[in-house]
Amino acid sequence: MVSICFYFQVHQPFRLHKGYSFFDIGANHFYEDETANREICNKVSSKCYIPMNRLLLELIEKHKGKFKVSFSITGVAIEQLQRFNPEVIELFKALADTGCVEFLSETYYHSLAFLFSRPDFKKQVLQHKQMIHDLFGQTPTTFRNTELIYNNDLAKFIEEMGYKTIIAEGADHVLGWRSPNFLYQPKDCYKLNLLLKNYKLSDDIAFRFSNKGWSEHPLKAEKYAGWLHSINGNGELINLFMDYETFGEHQWEDTGIFNFMRKFPDEVFKHPDFSFINPHEAAMHYTPVSKIDVPNFISWADIERDLTAWLGNPMQNSASEMVYALEQDIVKTKDQNLISIWHKLLTSDHFYYMCTKWFSDGDVHKYFNPYDTPFDAYIVFVNVLNDLKETVKNRLKSRAVRKQKKVNQPIPDRSL
Amino acid sequence: MKVLMFGWEFPPFISGGLGVACYGIVKGLNNNNVEIKLVLPTTGGQKTDLPVEICPADKIVISETYKKKLAQTMSSTTGKEMLSGIISPYETSVSGGDFFNRYQNMINELNIQGKDTILAFTGNYGRDLMAEVFRYSIIGEFLGSLGDFDIIHAHDWLTILAGVGAKRLSGKPLVIQIHATEVDRSGSSINSNIFNIEKYGMEQADRIIAVSYYTKNIIVNKYGIDPHKVTVVHNAVEKKTQLERLGIQKNLDEKYVLFLGRVTMQKGPDYFIEAANLVLKKIKNIRFVMAGSGDMMPRLIERAAALKITDRFHFTGFLNNRQQVERMYAMSDLYVMPSVSEPFGITAFEALLYDVPIILSKQSGVAEVLRGAMKVDFWDVPKLASAIVTLLEDEKLSKEMVESCKHELQDIHWNTASQKIKNLYHSLLFHNSH
């Protein structure tokens, strides 16, 4: 038996006001570009989330429980969908109700918190877990970290948090001669299972599908299923992980992506040994074939498969250090609103916009970047951060003054 | 070219901000060979050190012949138009009616008096200010009827009616200079009579001089005046009044050190960043602001990020209007011009206009003129840093420095401002004769 495991990533950051300037520091505390966020949410919902959710519902119904997919949806995406496109949430709930859809755990804010603050990382994961439970009635046992950022330490930490399965990129330099098409186990773990993305087959859909310069273009479901079928005998598990926006947003409807998916299960089932599986089931059905050692961080981004899309240049380093340096003071304010504003600044996209790698991955970066240059992105982010710092400073100062006043107040004479 | 100028304050008689500005302008125009007949409400018998013809209104004898003429004009259509211009058509309240009646009474009073009349003026801002303003307008008409001048120049609402009166009787072009508007002075509780006088005067004027882009903005937006009619000529004023007058609040309660200019190699912005880094190691509660844009921006942003000073070093990008530039100067506590090579460096002058102490590179032309300014070699970053620290920490020194620079600058500045005004006169006269 060979199982196909689909996992789709759903994420929308809270984008900041591109015009937030030095003059706004200390004067204007509204950071989000509500208009841009709403417009993008509307666009992606109508092009992708709504038609694709409907298609998946249709396929699950048609194949009577044999077609399965899993999702990881960030808290910030959910918040925006609840605000702008609540019908999308309803469709996700309908998918959850089929019993064929698994929802994974991740950081609520799609953050790099694991690299900067373990306590906050844990908080965000638990916040996300609670949200998934409240919305979809599932308690996730599979974890995926932001942008599939992963190493041995993360796996260990996640195992200690009680998860059964974790997801990572099947990077060449990690796998070496080994195939991603098996279940693995992280080096220092004994219970946790590791699913590695088959990036070649995933990217055939996510990136190459509509590329007319690609020798396999146009990609038909029949041909693609044939490639999967050829793995029979030298693999057990094919992990196809990609952004959900692939369907209808990155690959537009007129590329034929929806028709491809509509036919795909039928083509897969033409081979009797093939089935669909969700991550938590994969961990039950299969046994790890080997341990995988990942001492250094890997991710699913760019050709480097490392952290350089978010961290590494001076701007990214200074911005991330500055924002995480605020953690203690932010927590001290005990103001849930301020804490959530700060958390939203941790979303990895803000650092991605500051990336100065304009080589082979420049096009992808540009596509996702609302700013003209990474320098603009940095300036806006730092301006916002400086305003938040001032707000927090003033809040803590006025609290200290109030406390002082309380101490100095005479004790009322109760005998009167 | 001869100018009939209506002032109100004038040192040493009364020296408020308006007086200081008037003095500078008159002096500058005089240096630029413009002949001026300066009318003031009163001189209190004192003399000025300027070689211009001063004409105190309380010494002007209004002849019987002229009074008859005046009574006629006031009952004529133009006279009524003038009053209805001042009194807003929407003004039905007591104050509006009162305003009109008081004006009429004064004309009547004038006619009852003997053959020749001398009007009384205090030049103060007493309770009867409005009556004095009206009497001043009669002086304006009288002097206008003499017609021995080419152009009329009036300052602020106090003298606007006098200016308009002179124009009405002479047909000569009128320039009104606005130092402050009623909108500035009163915020939301505007005295509608004063507002209407201003609006009426601005409409009647051939050209308006605004003392800042901020003021021009108010003139255009609040008074509905055609922006093409308004020219900006800056005055030199005190920093505190400047902040208040421009309605500026500093967004952060800390000292700002400013670089303003193109972010290119010639301007030395990289030396500014390096010096900022050194200063921030010593003092924490200050902020550096780089205002402007240019080809070095990306490199400098990365440099500031690498130095990890972006919590105290800010980039504004290109300031795309004069109002923002004004605001930036007004908020700053120190201006640094580390130019590698600078033929002149007018921004140093601008900074001084807002009472901001300056540090110049020895390689800038303006350093020759401003002997009192702090100067360093652009490449000497440690020295630049210590100069910044000194001026920020020693407020007395920085204040003295500004004063001494401004003193050196004063004459230069008023001369340039007056040159602009003279050019404006020229364009008006040229325009009118064709």
The string of pLDDT tens digits covering residues A31-60 is 999 999 999 999 999 999 999 999 999 999
pLDDT at B423 over 50: yes
Q: How confident is the model at residue B109 (pLDDT cuts 50, 70, 90)?
A: low
Where do we find the tokens 């009288």?
B142
A9: Cβ–Cβ under 8 A, 6 or more apart, which residues? A71, A72, A144, A241, A242, A243, A244
Helix, coil or strand: residue A387? helix
Question: Does this complex have an ipTM over 0.90?
Answer: no
User: Domain locations in chain A?
Assistant: 2-292, 314-406
| CA distances (Å), origin B381, targets A296, B262, B296 | 40, 20, 18
Cβ distance A379 to B306 less than 8 Å, yes or no, reads no
Distance of CA A306 to the CA centre of its chain: 16
Average pLDDT of chain B is: 83
Where do we find the tokens 């204007």?
A28
Q: Which fold has domain B245-411?
A: Rossmann fold (3.40.50)
At position A198, the amino acid (one-letter code) is N
* Pairing of β B117-118 and β B61-62: antiparallel
Helix, coil or strand: residue B413? helix
Query: What 3 state SS string does A89-138 have?
Result: HHHHHHHHHCCCEEECECCCCCECHHHHCHHHHHHHHHHHHHHHHHHHCC
> Average pLDDT, stretch B89-102?
50
**Minimal CA separation from B331 to chain A, in Å:** 11
Residue A369: in which H helix or E strand, if any? Answer: none
Least confident of A68-82, A222-236, B111-125, B305-319: B111-125
Residue A63's CB is within 10 A of a number of other CB atoms, namely 16
Q: Are B160 and B136 in contact (CB under 8 A)?
A: no
Spatial distance between the Cα atoms of B154 and B178, rounded to a whole number of angstroms: 9
Spatial distance between the Cα atoms of B290 and B258, rounded to a whole number of angstroms: 6
Which pLDDT does position B341 carry in this prediction?
A: 76
Residue A153: in which H helix or E strand, if any? Answer: helix A152-160
Supply A325's token pair.
């340096």
Q: Are B251 and A389 in contact (CB under 8 A)?
A: no
Cβ distance B311 to A321 less than 8 Å, yes or no, reads no
Spatial distance between the Cα atoms of A345 and A111, rounded to a whole number of angstroms: 9
Spatial distance between the Cα atoms of A368 and A381, rounded to a whole number of angstroms: 16
Which residues in chain B are closer than 8 Å to A379, comparing Cβ atoms?
A: 301, 315, 317
- Residue B7 has what DSSP assignment? -
Whether A322 and chain B come into contact, CB under 8 Å, resolves to yes
Which pLDDT does position A116 carry in this prediction?
A: 96
* Pairing of β B230-232 and β A291-292: unpaired
Spatial distance between the Cα atoms of B307 and B288, rounded to a whole number of angstroms: 13
Whether A394 and chain B come into contact, CB under 8 Å, resolves to no
Q: Which contacts qualify for B372-377: CB closer than 8 Å, 24 or more apart?
A: B372/B401, B372/B404, B372/B405, B372/B407, B372/B408, B373/B348, B373/B401, B373/B405, B374/B401, B376/B338
Active site residues of A: 147
Surface-to-core class of residue A300, CB atoms within 10 Å of its CB (0-12 exposed, 13-18 middle, 19+ buried): buried
pLDDT at B33 over 50: yes
Q: Is B247 left (phi over 0), alpha (psi -120 to 50) or beta?
A: left
Among candidates B306, B311, B316 on the partner chain, residue whose Cβ is nearest the Cβ of A389: B311
Decide whether B2-235 matches B245-411 in CATH topology. yes
Q: Which fold has domain A2-292?
A: 7-stranded beta/alpha barrel (3.20.110)
How many Cα atoms within 13 Å fall on the side-chain side of residue A161?
24
- Residue B142 has what DSSP assignment? H
Note the helical H segments in B147-238. Answer: 156-170, 182-186, 192-204, 213-223
Per residue in B152-191, pLDDT (tens digit) is: 999 999 999 999 999 988 999 999 999 888 887 776 678 8
Q: Are B38 and B27 in contact (CB under 8 A)?
A: no
> Average pLDDT, stretch A272-279?
96
Which pLDDT does position A304 carry in this prediction?
A: 86
Q: How confident is the model at residue B100 (pLDDT cuts 50, 70, 90)?
A: low
**Secondary structure E strands in B44-173:** 53-56, 61-62, 117-118, 151-155
Cβ distance B314 to A317 less than 8 Å, yes or no, reads no
Least confident of A166-175, B62-71, B346-355: B62-71
Spatial distance between the Cα atoms of B157 and B195, rounded to a whole number of angstroms: 8
Which residues in chain B are closer than 8 Å to A373, comparing Cβ atoms?
A: 298
pLDDT at B91 over 50: no
Which pLDDT does position B187 carry in this prediction?
A: 66
Cβ distance B324 to A383 less than 8 Å, yes or no, reads no
Which pLDDT does position A137 carry in this prediction?
A: 96
Q: Which fold has domain B2-235?
A: Rossmann fold (3.40.50)
Spatial distance between the Cα atoms of A51 and A257, rounded to a whole number of angstroms: 11
> Average pLDDT, stretch B289-310?
94
Supply B109's token pair.
């009073």
B305: Cβ–Cβ under 8 A, 6 or more apart, which residues? A313, A314, A315, A317, A318, A319, A378
Q: Are B334 and B258 in contact (CB under 8 A)?
A: yes
> Average pLDDT, stretch A202-228?
95
**Minimal CA separation from A161 to chain B, in Å:** 35
Nearest CA in chain B to A388: B311
pLDDT at B239 over 60: no
Supply A379's token pair.
């300036």
Closest CA to B306 of A319, A403, A43, A15: A319
Strand partners, B336: B359
User: Which residues of B lie inside 8 Å of A (Cβ-Cβ)?
Assistant: 249-252, 289, 297-298, 301-303, 305-306, 308, 310-311, 314-317, 324, 327
User: Domain locations in chain B?
Assistant: 2-235, 245-411
Distance of CA A24 to the CA centre of its chain: 31
Of B84 and A15, which is predicted with more confidence?
A: A15
Helix, coil or strand: residue B117? strand
Q: Are B360 and B340 in contact (CB under 8 A)?
A: no
pLDDT at B381 over 90: yes
Which pLDDT does position A12 carry in this prediction?
A: 97
